[in-house]
C-alpha cells in the first residue's frame, strides 16, 4: 500500500509513521512521499532523514482550505505518487470536495480528541478548558464535514488532577504517535473474505 503523508508543521506524526516503517511495524504500507503546504515546515526534514521524497506544494490562493489552483497542484502530486492512502498528519487545511472526490475513501486524518467531542482547531485545549476527565485521539476517514468522518480507531488519555495544558498535550501526542502507525498498518493488510 503506497502512502502519502500531508502535514503542515513539525512533522512529529510523520516521524512516528516513518520510525514505525523503519522498525518494520507498518504492515504492508510504504511511505512514498511527504507533502506540505508550508515552505519552511519541519516535516520537510523528515523526508531527507528517512530517504522519502518530500516537497512543498503551493496551496495558493487560499490560506485555510485546499481549493482552487492549490487543490489541483496537491491532487497532481498525490496522483503522481500513485497513493493508495493519503494520511493527514497535522495538515492544517480544510479539505474540499475536489480533493475528496479524487481520493474517495482513501484519506484518513488524525485528530487530538475523542471525536465527536472537540472537533476543529485546538482539540487538546478545548478538552482541557472544558475540564474533561478523559480525552485522547482519533483516526477517522475524511469527509466534507470537518472531523466528522467515520471513526477508525481511538486511544483514551486520562486527564490527571495535576495536568497542565502542556503535560496533557504531551500525553495526547504520545498516544497519537502510537495510534496512527497502528491504524495505517491495519489498513495495509488484505481483508479476508
Place of cell 495510534: 179
Stated pTM of the model: 0.94
Written as nine digits, the cell of 47 is 523526508
Cis ω for the linkage preceding 61 (within 30 of 0): yes
In the chain, the largest separation of any two C-alpha atoms, in whole Å, equals 49
**Of the ranges 83-87, 141-145, 154-158, which one carries the lowest mean pLDDT score?**
141-145
Does the structure show a pLDDT above 50 at 155?
Answer: yes
If DSSP codes are grouped into helix, strand and coil, which group holds residue 58? coil
Written as nine digits, the cell of 12 is 512529529
Q: pLDDT value at position 193?
A: 46
The beta strands (E) that lie in the chain are given as 2-7, 30-36, 54-56, 65-66, 85-88, 94-95, 107-111, 134-141, 151-158
Percent of the chain at pLDDT exceeding 90: 92
| Nearest alpha carbon to residue 94 among 75, 115, 109, 113 | 109
Q: Which positions ≥6 away from 24 have C-beta within 8 Å? A: none
If DSSP codes are grouped into helix, strand and coil, which group holds residue 24? coil
The more confidently predicted of residues 62 and 5 is: 5
Does the structure show a pLDDT above 80 at 192?
Answer: no
Q: pLDDT value at position 190?
A: 81
CA–CA distance, 19 with 159 (Å, rounded to integer):
27
Q: pLDDT value at position 7?
A: 95
CA–CA distance, 107 with 101 (Å, rounded to integer):
10
Rounding to the nearest 10 degrees, give the CA dihedral for residues 66, 72, 75, 81: -130
Under the banding of pLDDT at 50, 70 and 90, the label for residue 12 is very high
Does the structure show a pLDDT above 80 at 191?
Answer: no
Written as nine digits, the cell of 28 is 504492508
Tell me the per-residue pLDDT of 21-77, one tens digit each, with 9 for 90 and over.
Answer: 999 999 999 999 999 999 999 999 999 899 999 999 999 998 899 999 999 999 999
**Domains of the chain, each with CATH number or no CATH:** 2-188 (3.40.50.170)
- Residue 138's CB is within 10 A of a number of other CB atoms, namely 26
Does the structure show a pLDDT above 80 at 20?
Answer: yes
Does the structure show a pLDDT above 90 at 127?
Answer: yes
Cα torsion angle, 161, 167, 171, 173, sign: positive
Active site residues: 111
Amino acid at each position: 500500500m503506497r502512502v502519502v503523508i500531508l502535514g503542515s508543521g513539525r512533522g512529529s506524526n510523520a516521524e512516528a509513521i516513518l520510525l514505525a516503517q523503519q522498525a518494520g511495524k507498518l504492515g504492508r504500507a510504504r511511505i512514498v512521499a511527504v507533502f506540505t503546504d508550508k515552505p519552511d515546515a519541519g516535516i520537510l526534514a523528515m523526508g531527507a532523514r528517512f530517504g522519502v521524497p518530500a516537497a512543498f506544494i503551493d496551496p495558493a490562493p487560499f490560506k485555510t482550505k485546499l481549493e482552487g489552483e492549490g487543490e489541483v497542484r496537491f491532487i497532481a502530486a498525490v496522483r503522481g505518487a500513485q497513493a493508495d492512502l493519503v494520511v493527514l498528519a497535522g495538515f492544517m487545511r480544510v479539505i474540499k470536495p475536489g480533493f475528496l472526490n479524487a481520493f474517495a475513501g482513501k484519506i484518513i486524518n488524525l485528530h487530538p480528541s475523542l471525536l465527536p467531542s472537540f472537533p476543529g482547531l485546538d482539540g487538546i485545549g478545548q478538552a482541557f478548558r472544558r475540564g474533561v476527565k478523559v480525552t485522547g485521539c482519533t483516526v477517522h476517514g475524511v469527509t466534507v464535514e470537518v472531523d466528522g468522518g467515520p471513526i477508525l480507531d481511538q486511544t483514551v488519555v486520562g486527564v490527571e488532577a495535576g495536568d497542565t495544558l502542556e503535560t496533557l498535550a504531551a500525553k495526547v501526542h504520545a498516544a497519537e504517535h502510537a495510534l496512527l502507525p497502528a491504524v495505517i498498518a491495519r489498513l495495509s493488510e488484505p481483508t479476508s473474505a
